[in-house]
Structure 1
Amino acid sequence: MTKKRVGIVGGGIVGTSVAYHLTHYYDDVEVYLFEKNTIGSGTTAKSAGTHCLIDDSVPHDFWSVRLHGFKFYTDLEKKYPGSTGFEKTGTLLIAPYPEYEKYALQAVDLAVASGYQAWYWKDKEKIKEIIPDLILDDVLGAAYCPEDGFFDPTMISSTLARLSREEGAHVYIGTEVTTINMDGNRVTGVDTNKGHFDLDVLVDATGPWEPFFSKKVGLEVPIIHTKAEVFILEPVESLGYPFPVLKYPRFYARKDKENVFICKAHLTMDLNNPDHAGVWDADQLPMTGGTDPYFWDFLTEELMQHYPRLLESSVANDWVGYRAEPRDYMPVLGKTPVEGYILAIGAGGNGVIEGPTIGRDIARLIMTGETSYFLDKLPLSRFEKELEKHHKVTW
């Protein structure tokens, strides 16, 4: 039997998940994973890795995506201890206004219905048992789940790449795809700095490189970058209590060894502000530094209002990553007008959460032609009018 030849470009958490699901659930496939740097590098390496059952990162409409991702990683950790870098810290989600409180209450209901422990507290003394130093004057309440925490996205990517290789995948690092070969409107293969590969399907999992990569097949996918600006704060004195994942509407934080990782919340980005959103060269991302002055001002104001004790810290490190996503903040998944060119991009700051579902559903699409609820809701064709107007794409 002739095997379907599938190439995947991008060795981050999404690309390795696609490779894993193809190799572990299908026999008649030959998988080629191309990563121009190292597995789990790029923005995957700069991710906070939080995967919380009660936060606001993924709409409740996609609860099954959140739940599947959490179970996938925790099951992987049980089978291969240390394979995901999981730290079970719990999550405290602060609700300062009614709409956010409704979200938190539903998150608790969903977690409990799925067999996990979670509570919503209006008693501020109860909230302070988790983080005593919070200022809660204008807070309605808080949700708490002790069972989740954060993962190491680079470790997960490396694990998935290794397991894929053990099942026969060809994993090429330091391998840049320079040209996508076409026969009319159909992908036939790729040229790389390590040679030519004939392919039947090519999966674009390039993350922040996507706005440039899809042009190789004549597509301009409506992906922009928003900045994930991070500070690692080193408190002057130990906080003296276990630090959970802390979620406010405008920022979030988690432990980083003895320090605190803190970042501006994803949905607070002003997409009309060129300091917040645009399209930048992902190859120019520095490994450290690169944060903008406005972010420190924003963070200082937030901490002064909610958690002033953290201002008694020095900055141990800082960096900026690019979240790649469309303006509706949801991924772009599945088929394109180019035959054999499949998108697995646009997860933005939710690649860790959505990666297992994207990998599973894209693998099924490639091998069976079947789509899922997730793929049906998030196709490239939802931008059909915009693409036809500006790029003359036909569907």
Structure 2
Amino acid sequence: MTETEYSEQFKNDDVPKENKEKGLDDKYKDIDVDEIILTKKVGTDYSYKHKVVWKNVIGFFILYSLCIRGAFLALMGEIRLVTIVWTFFIGYITGIGITVGSHRLFAHRTFKATTFLKVILIILQTAAGQNGIYIWCRDHRLHHRYSDTDGDPHNSKRGYFFCHVGWLMHRKHPYVLKLGKRIDMSDLESDWMVMFQHKYYYVLYTIFAVVIPVFVPWYYWGESFKNSLLFCYFFRYITQLNVTWLVNSAAHLYGTRPYDKNMQPVDTWLVSVLTFGEGWHNYHHTFPWDYKAAELSDHINHSAILIEFFQRIGLAYDLKSASPDMVRRRIQKSGDGTHYDLGNEESKKAVSAIGPLHPLNPTYNVTYEPPNVLIKGEGLPLYHENDVMNANVVKRNAAKA
């Protein structure tokens, strides 16, 4: 079955007019999640129209406007150099809270951390302001299980804008709502630190993401409060969000698929540079349990280098990784031929770009059509090669929901 055939089966011209006006759709009214997981495939229904949440649109308009104002002040020389350095320092350490903390430690459990390191990463993740760990990980685990389908919160098949930021301006697809409740979160629910952050997130967020970053320049070197707020909070926050969102957008649309050409995610040098190694996305979706989120830790992968450093000083342990033989077999079985070592010259040349033909060019992309994405209802592996949605876990989570 192709994506088009999948979408065709959902077409329904008999939806009542009043339901259409309310953004409702009878075909999703009575979703049996157990049936989806056990018997069906999940793809993208292109006939489904997401409903805009206008209060979110207005909120983002305000945030972007204040971010632009902060950037303008810096360009006009009205922000002190030390404040700019401080802001980028905050952006760096909070970025580590996302890449090493939310992503590789809590969402994928690719390594274990001491209590001290967990506390530091939770604080840094809170300061990044990208939702608490519990919600961040739930959405990310769902994204991996049903990547680039209607079960994915930021389905890249809906286009660049949607998977970058538009998904936050629309109501979630019914599959996202229903399947999200079936994601196993028992590990985080049993972690008192994660649940403490979840309970008091907005208080902690105000302290670590707003008050401290803004207070320091104002109090210690006399930056005006207005300038500090506009640059250290609004500019830093929105800029960092957009860099993070590149992993959901650019890293699913522009790049190569050396490990699995049947998956939508791609490997992209530029996103890897900007996100401390999160852009090797084709590898990451192929082997999501690998702490490196890439085949190599020493090639544009600052997050992996940090995890290895934490291991050397005793703060991280039990690092998981896909074996070289497993990686090699997957490349030979399903790669698109662009792998740096095991690929072929013909496939490596089958790329295009607007401007310089170099992997750092953001438009660097393969010339073949992106794959049709239809995923079995049980979802894709998350914690090991044969891991899928467990029917017993689904039923237990359904009872809790």
TM-score tier after normalising by the smaller chain length = under 0.3
TM-score using structure 2 length: 0.25
Greater fraction of residues in strand: 1
TM-score by length of 1: 0.25
- The structure that is helix-richer by fraction is 2
